[in-house]
Amino acid sequence: MIRPALVVTALLLAAGAAHARGGPAMGLPHATTWKNSCAGVQALVARSGAAVLTFGPRTAAGLEGLLSGYDYDRVAHDARYCLPRATLTPIWVPTRDAAQCFAGYTCSESGSSSSGRHAR
């Protein structure tokens, strides 16, 4: 028979290992950009080094007005918060007080695509 304390301990250890590897949430702060000021979004990214920003909503491709969810991206303050040799691309997002707010940079490997919020 498996003891409940052993099961709980094993689950906690697995969760800690996933977090250390950069698990699903990676322990990063999150902000919804259109609910925050530009300065607030910039301060969050600068203070944390990186954050997950939700911006949008986006529409389904070719179907004007049909919402298909929200765009989001991991945004880094600078290259220290990206993998070595990653390409840094500036990202502008809509905020409560600015249609185009420079939020930081997205980190990507060569040849990968991103959310498309990089055009100014």
Q: What is the pLDDT along the chain (120 residues), one digit of tens a residue?
A: 455 444 444 433 443 333 333 333 468 999 999 999 999 999 999 999 999 999 876 555 555 555 556 788 999 999 999 999 999 999 999 999 999 999 999 999 865 545 555 544
Strands 71-76 and 87-93, by their bridges, are unpaired
What ranges make up the beta strands (E) of the chain?
A: 30-32, 50-55, 71-76, 87-93, 101-108
pLDDT tens string 15-26? 333 333 333 346
CB neighbour list of residue 26: distance below 8 Å, 6 or more residues apart: 19, 52, 74
Strand, helix or coil for residue 44: helix
pLDDT of res. 43 = 97
Strand, helix or coil for residue 50: strand
Backbone torsions φ then ψ of 95, nearest 5 degrees: -125, 175
